[in-house]
Each structure stands twice: as structure tokens, then as C-alpha cells.
Amino acid sequence: MMKPGKAALPFGAASRRRVRRGGFLLVEVMVAIAIFAVAVVALGKCVENIMAAQLIKEEDEQVRRFLDGKMAEIEAGAVIVNDRATTEEVKDWLPGAKLTTKRTQLKKKNEKDQDLYNLFVVDIELNWLSNGEKQSRSVSFYVFPDQR
């Protein structure tokens, strides 16, 4: 029995309408999954970049502490630095790490226009490989050797 105001639909037409709606939902779900996948990949790349930045920061802190230690040794007179540049390999630490030290006498005058002797600028440079790329950090400072 048919209800008033409703037209009778052939059996196949109602079935096709239900299939089309189900197909439309399937497309919506697939688009939502694709958007979610893109978001997950982007989030993964962000986490990867954060971890790489953290490793670079830690490596930079280690290098700065190493250079500060070398500077303290030179200032204390525990390590003698020559006027010509010397390069030494730093073993068991960073790959390919080489430390270059150089001392240059400053030609400065005091307030009485007299030459100042034994005043030097010391340059320390550390070169190493990080992820296949050459890295370098340097420190320059003044030294006035003890006149004992």
C-alpha cells in the first residue's frame, strides 16, 4: 500500500540512490584520510628537524666548551703557543677534528708612545666534519705572558 503524496519508484532507482550516497561517503572518508596522512607526514618532518637542530646545538656547545678549555690552558701558561700556526688532530672526539693555533705579536703603543712588547693575540680554530659537511669555530683573545 502506498502512502498518499509519494510516487512509486521502481525498485532499481531507489537502490541506485542508496549506492550513490554510500559512494559519496566513501569519497569523503578517502579525502579525510588523505588530509590526515599529509598532516602526519608534515608533523614527522617537523619532529625530524627539531631533533637535527638539537644535535647541532649539542655539538656546538661541546665545541665551544672545548675551545674555552684550550683558551684557559693557554692563558694559564700550561700550553705554549708559537708564532707560526700549528695544527694538531683531536682524536676520539669529532670526526676529522683538527685544532689550529696561532700567536701574533701586537704592535701597540702605550700612552707614552712606547712600544708594548709581549702582547699577543692568539687565534684558535677547530675544524671538523658534521653530517658530511665541514664545520669551523674559532676564538681570538689577547695574551700577556708572565714575565717571571
For residue 8, tell me if it sits in a domain. Answer: no
Rounded CA-CA distance 105/114 in Å is: 15
- Helices (H) and strands (E) counted in the chain, each on its own, are 1, 6
For residue 2, tell me if it sits in a domain. Answer: no
Query: pLDDT tens digit string along 19-66?
Result: 555 566 888 889 999 999 999 999 999 999 999 999 989 999 999 999
For residue 110, tell me if it sits in a domain. Answer: yes
What average pLDDT score do residues 2-21 get?
A: 57
For residue 24, tell me if it sits in a domain. Answer: yes
What average pLDDT score do residues 116-132 get?
A: 89
pLDDT given for residue 92 in this prediction: 80
Q: Which three cell numbers stand for residue 35?
A: 588530509
**pLDDT greater than 70 at residue 74:** yes
Which H or E run includes 110?
none
How sure is the predictor about 91, in pLDDT bands with cuts at 50, 70 and 90?
A: confident
Number of domains in the chain: 1
For residue 78, tell me if it sits in a domain. Answer: yes
For residue 9, tell me if it sits in a domain. Answer: no
For residue 6, tell me if it sits in a domain. Answer: no
What average pLDDT score do residues 124-137 get?
A: 91
For residue 91, tell me if it sits in a domain. Answer: yes
What average pLDDT score do residues 69-89 get?
A: 88
97: containing domain: 14-143
More confident residue, 89 or 3: 89
Q: Looking up cell 649539542, which residue turns up?
A: 58
Say what the pTM is. 0.66
Rounded CA-CA distance 75/20 in Å is: 82
Name the average pLDDT for the chain: 84
